[in-house]
Amino acid sequence: MLKTKKELKEKIFKRLSPEFPLAAEEVELTATPDPSLGDLALSIAFPLAKKLKTSPRMIARQAVELLSKLEGVEKVELAGAGYINLYLDRKNFFKEKFSRLKKSALEPEESKIIVEHTNINPNKAAHVGHLRNACLGDTLVRCLRYKGEQVEVQNYIDDTGVQVVDVVFGFIELEKKSLDEIKRIPGKFDYYCWDLYTKVSRYLAENQSAQDRKAEILKRIEHQLSPEAEYAHYISRRILKDHLETMKRLSISYDVLPCESSILKLKFWEKAFERLKECRAIYLSTEGENAGCWVMKLPDEQEREKIIVRSDGTVTYVGKDIAYQLWKFGLLGQDFYYEPFIHDNNRPVWISSGEPTSYQVHFGAGSKVYNVIDVRQSYLQKVVVQGLKSLGYEQQAAKSIHFSYEMVALSPRSLKEIKAEISEEDRDRTFLEVSGRKGIGVKADDLLDRLEEKAWEEVAKRNPDLPQESKKQIAQQIAAGAVRYFMLKYARNSLIIFDFDEALNFEGETGPYLQYTAVRLRSIFRKLQERLGCSYQEIIKPEILAGSYLEKLLPEEAKDFWELVVFASGLDEEVLRAIITLEFAGLAKFTFNLCQKINSYYHHYQVLSEKDEELRNLRLITIYFVHQILCQALDLMGIQVPEKM
């Protein structure tokens, strides 16, 4: 539809501009409120009427005449107070759209786009909040690739930060475990550390004196001293592997894992620091409470200074982030070293190293960067962008996009289910923020396990004869589809108050409903082979569309057919809109509505039992068309289509 609209707009402008004071970008084609009013609406008469001091209907009447016999348009009509409605040439439209199936009308604009997402501290298991981040990030990646962009997916690993230090502290000081003993801990290590981290947080809050010992461990890890650094390295790597396993369950993968330890080792910050000092982006505060710190000022926020380097000379998190952002744009003049960390579908996932390796691979140096981080870090992301601006990198600053989204919180019911211990002050709240520190959160794998269990039962009920292995695989696909749709269906500004009943629902506007729709469409083609002995490839050929098939349809079916085709053709527009607004709820809703329409369509119009062969084939081709687009949309959201359900 994107292509059709673009071509039409140009033609319309050509016809109207000699007669009316009109700019090309003022020609807007929108959907009509009702398909019976035509396919596309032009509301240009309203602003023109104002300019020319006449009535919109007068303008519209004149425009309708000027637009007669437009190529690709069957009829132009005046409607309402002054709308100009266009009826598309159905036969040619469908023919063209069918021949362009699987071809995106979108075009790439960047040389290389970097998307950073997931970024879970490697000291505990992933929870539902992390799932939202990863699902949004991965969907963005898929949409950008569909648009034709070259995309590099990064997952930043804060392997030397205080959260990892807390767990190291727990193993050394509370559990008194040697590294070998830690290595022998069986089972899910991220779960083990989830509990330990909560214990440590409580212990540190109650024992102020332990803070010094923790600070010492932090220093020793930053300076790569034994044995603390080995602890941190082992723990973070093992948990990272667990995280990657969790994400794999959702078909989410990465190209490269840049680590904070490498940034420290290769002195990325020192380099950035020199530059920031040189161009006076930051300055040494000499008086007031920030005396002795290097600080940055945000131009529009007069009062506040942001501390970048502490008075003891250590750099803050945001400082390191500026250096990291410079590297992402290839502005640091230096790269990490890399080695393969794991293999995902025979493709290496690379991890950064501070030491030279034998691998000649390079990452970073993007022309546009998306950082998928929740809304609470908006201020810090602004500081990072300001850093780039101050260094004179205006263009890169403009292409540093903070993809922000609201957090996931837990409903009182969910809190009860996970048996969370809730403090007195939190008791009256209608929801509670996920907190790794307090151990309050729904672990990603727990949620996926519960979904899989439920899906398995449903599959077994319906398809008892399937082999165990198939049932398991289908259950996994359904569980993943449920999670991914759940995370996308809310607008990113909307706080998700997580509730098990809602997340575990497979009916209505859910991932499994979409999957079920695709599975059933697919089974029509399978049954075609089984019952009638012919494959759909024999029937669905482009030549068929050259015939006079559409004329065979009775008015009611013609209307339903056409509405379906026009709607399905909107995918490209929907994807482009999603990329521009960074909003995937619309794409999710579009796919859901497409499913509703196709479900309704083939309930009304039987396919295989239709005696009239031409009619049957036309229905088949319609269903094929929609099925293709549906599968594309599902793929963009990372939702797989099971063989059976």
According to CB under 7 A, which residues from 600 to 629 bind RNA?
Answer: 600, 602-609
Examine residue 35 and tell whether it contacts RNA (CB under 7 A): no
Whole-angstrom CA distances from 532 to 245, 527, 608 are 44, 8, 8
- What CA–CA distances, in Å, run from 498 to 432, 475, 503, 579, 627? 10, 22, 7, 26, 32
| Residues in contact with RNA, shown as a per-residue x/- string from 201 to 230 under the rule CB under 7 A | ------------------------------
Nearer to RNA by Cβ, of 151 and 294: the residue is 294
The Cα–Cα gap between 453 and 98 comes to 39
The DSSP secondary structure of 557-577, one letter per residue, reads: HHHHHHHHHHHHTTHHHHHHH
Please write down the HEC assignment for all residues of 491-502: CCCCCEEECHHH
Can you give the three-state secondary structure of 300-352, one letter per residue?
CCCCCEEEEECCCCCECHHHHHHHHHHHHCCCCCCCCEEEEEEEECCEEEEEE
Q: Quote the CA–CA distance of 78 and 84 in Å, as a whole number.
A: 5
Q: Is 592 in the site for RNA (CB under 7 A)?
A: yes
32 binds RNA (CB under 7 A): yes
State which of residues 7, 19, 30, 398 lies at the interface with RNA (CB under 7 A): 30
529 binds RNA (CB under 7 A): no
Is residue 587 within the footprint of RNA (CB under 7 A)?
no
Nearest to RNA of 495, 550 (CB atom): 495
- Region 274-293 residues binding RNA, contact defined as CB under 7 A: 289-293
Only one residue has tokens 């575990």, namely 504
Task: Kindly identify the residues of this chain, within the stretch 45-74, that bind RNA according to CB under 7 A.
Answer: 46-47, 50, 56
Task: Return the residue of 153, 168, 256, 307 that touches RNA, per CB under 7 A.
Answer: 307
Distance in Å, CB of 368 to RNA, minimum: 20
Interaction of residue 367 with RNA, rule CB under 7 A: no
Q: Retrieve residue 242's tokens.
A: 């667990």
Q: Report the nearest approach of RNA to the CB of residue 500 (Å).
A: 13
Question: Which residue intervals of 358-426 are DSSP H helices?
Answer: 378-390, 394-398, 412-417
Among 81, 205, 532, 546, indicate the residue that binds RNA (CB under 7 A).
81
Query: 391 to 420, contacts with RNA by CB under 7 A?
Result: 406
Q: Shortest gap between Cβ of 158 and RNA (angstroms)?
A: 5
Percentages helix, strand, coil for the chain (3-state, rounded to 5) are 55, 15, 35
Q: Which of 129, 161, 258, 366 binds RNA (CB under 7 A)?
A: 161
Contact with RNA (CB under 7 A) among 240, 489, 562, 638: 489
Distance CA 640, CA 622 (A): 22
Which range touches RNA (CB under 7 A), out of 4-12, 79-87, 103-111, 176-184?
A: 79-87
Q: Which of 349, 411, 351 is nearest to 128 (CA)?
A: 411
Q: Determine, following the binding rule CB under 7 A, whether residue 599 of this chain makes contact with RNA.
A: yes
Q: Which is nearer to RNA, 467 or 508 (CB)?
A: 508
Kind and range of the H or E run holding 597:
helix 585-604
C-alpha 126/C-alpha 643 separation (Å) is 29
Q: In angstroms, rounded to a whole number, what is the distance separating the alpha carbons of residues 177 and 159?
A: 20
Structure tokens at 61: 């009447």
**Stretch 110-139 residues interacting with RNA (CB under 7 A):** 121
Smaller CB distance to RNA: residue 495 or 544? 495
CB 309 within 8 A of CB 319: yes
For RNA, which is the closer residue by CB, 77 or 173? 77
Residues contacting 190, CB < 8 A, separation 6+:
124, 125, 126, 239, 242, 243, 246
Q: Which stretch binds RNA (CB under 7 A): 12-20, 30-38, 65-73, 562-570?
A: 30-38
Q: Which two tokens stand for residue 110?
A: 């960047």
Question: Closest approach of Cβ 184 to RNA, in Å?
Answer: 29
108 touching RNA, by CB under 7 A: no
Site for RNA, residues 536 to 575, rule: CB under 7 A: none
CB of 59 to RNA, least distance (A): 12
Q: Looking at the chain, how many residues does it have? A: 645
Site size for RNA, by CB under 7 A? 94
Residues 490-519 binding RNA (CB under 7 A) are 490-491, 493-497, 502, 505-510, 512-513, 516, 519
Among 57, 589, 628, 631, interactor with RNA by CB under 7 A: 589
Using the 8-state DSSP alphabet, how is residue 36 labeled?
G
- Give the x/- contact pattern for RNA in 425-444, rule: CB under 7 A: ----x---x-----------
Print the binding letters for residues 309-338 with RNA: x by CB under 7 A, - otherwise: -xxx-x-xxx--------------------
Q: Does 585 bind RNA (CB under 7 A)?
A: yes
| Contact residue for RNA among 354, 520, 550, 563 (CB under 7 A) | 520
Identity of the residue, 178 or 493, whose beta carbon is nearer to RNA in the bound complex: 493
- Judged by CB under 7 A, the stretch of 7-15, 106-114, 158-166, 350-358 that binds RNA is 158-166
Helices (H) and strands (E) counted in the chain, each on its own, are: 25, 17
238/589 with CB nearer RNA: 589
3-state secondary structure (DSSP) of residue 266: coil
